[in-house]
Amino acid sequence: MGGYFQGGGHSPLTSKWGMGADQVLALEVVTADGRFRTATATENEELFWAIRGGGGSTYGVVTSVVYKAHPQIPISTLAFSITTGPTTNITADQFFGALREYFIRFEGYADKGHYSYFFVLPAGDGQYSFRMSSWVAPNTTMDELKAEVAPLLEAMAAHGVVFETDFKGWDNFHDGWEYGFPLEAWGTGNVRQGSRLFPRKNWHDEKLLNDTWEAVRSVAEAGSIIIAFNIRNPPEYPDNAVNPAWRDVLCHCIMGSAWSYGTSEEEASQRSWTVTHDWMPRWIKVSPGSGAYMSESDYMEPDWQQSFHGSNYPRLYALKQKWDPFSVFYAQNAVGSEDWEMSGSIVGVPSQNSKLCRKPRS
């Protein structure tokens, strides 16, 4: 059982039922001492708490999991795309004006249990595209979703942005998921990414909301790929090691800089530096004390202990020392990895093909 729930795990049903880690009822794990153990709320409780959200490759090899089952429910989905340029007569200002109409409504949609997955992409020469890959509304009919989205479409049309919509209704989650989340291509180049969890409070203060929007827009205008999710966590959830920043989130937002194979090391290093030290600080500035999703993050994230784990980190680190004192299990930016370092680097970041060395103890 891999890192999905161990990192927290979000899905199109998170706004309704919570994180992947919240669905785990029991697990079996081989710990660093070679023993096979069962972990539940009443047996090996420390492991049960830590593994559910505390990060993969950290406390043991999880061999099986018992997940909570939910009743079958209907869902509805929506997809659409917007492109600037002469073929659509949509300017960049109209484009971002329409997207802002969506952005300011995140709290209302998430609190209805909706989840959306979308892209903002640079298209060259100051042009942009937006792709709503899949807007998922659990326990909602297609007509109900149309009614809930209608005010947004009207507001976007007021900016001169009109487009075709693809609404679908399903009597079960799986079929809607299969339609809205097809397999995606990967491996066409190199991407350096980072992410940020924007908290609910950013939508409760007009200035902070405007500053947050401008921070997101500025990174898009600077050339970043943006992949984002309008999402929340339900108000009730189990006690586990999921990053506390997830519990008050309204937008999980990923940035990225891409370059093709053959790009010089100097340019690749500069692009990598830009993500960590130019673009991401703009997002951190408007969300101090929040965090990032470790499974879709910058692996050179400064202060990653706070970003990935928040107030959970001291307990997680102590459990790492107890259950794996010799660091049998290691991953970059996993709990306890600050005690180790990789000896080589490529384009200014640690090379995972280099030797792993324990740092000198102070």
Is 136 within 8 Å of 114 (Cβ atoms)? yes
Residue 261's pLDDT is 84
- Residues 9, 1: contact at Cβ < 8 Å? no
Q: Taking 90 as the threshold, does the pLDDT of residue 262 lie above it?
A: no
> Does any domain span residue 135?
yes
Alpha-carbon dihedral sign for residues 299, 214, 159, 106: positive
Residue 186's pLDDT is 66
Q: Is 211 a residue whose pLDDT tops 80?
A: yes
Question: In the prediction, which pLDDT does 362 show?
Answer: 66
pLDDT band, very low/low/confident/very high, at 298 (cuts 50, 70, 90): very high
Number of separate domains in the chain: 1
What pLDDT score was predicted for residue 346?
78
pTM of the predicted model as reported, rounded to 2 decimal places: 0.96
245 belongs to a structural domain? yes
Query: Which structure tokens are listed for 75?
Result: 């869902």
Q: Is residue 17 part of a domain?
A: no
Question: Is residue 34 situated within a structural domain?
Answer: no
Give me the pLDDT at residue 299, please.
84
Q: Would 82 be classed as within a structural domain? A: yes
pLDDT (tens digit, 9 = 90+) per residue, 76-120? 999 999 999 999 999 999 999 999 999 999 999 999 999 999 999
Which residues contact residue 205 at a Cβ distance below 8 angstroms, ignoring those fewer than 6 apart?
A: none
Q: CA–CA separation, 179 vs 168, rounded Å?
A: 9
Residue 260 is predicted with a pLDDT of: 86
How far from chain centre, in Å, is Cα 130?
18
Poorest-confidence range of 129-138, 236-245, 297-306, 348-357? 348-357
* Average pLDDT score over residue span 266-278: 93
pLDDT at 77: 98
Residue 144's domain spans which residues? 75-307
Residue 340, in any domain of the structure: no
We report the CATH number of the domain holding residue 106 as 3.40.462.20
Tokens of 149: 């989205």
- For residue 144, being part of any structural domain is answered with yes
Residue-wise pLDDT for 136-193, tens only, equals 999 999 999 999 999 999 999 999 999 999 999 999 999 999 999 988 776 657 888 9
Total Cβ atoms within 10 A of residue 211: 16
Lowest mean pLDDT among 114-118, 213-217, 259-263, 331-335: 259-263
Give the range among 124-133, 273-282, 336-345 with minimum mean pLDDT: 336-345
Would you say residue 354 lies in a domain?
no
Amino acid at residue number 120: V
pLDDT score recorded for residue 349 = 73
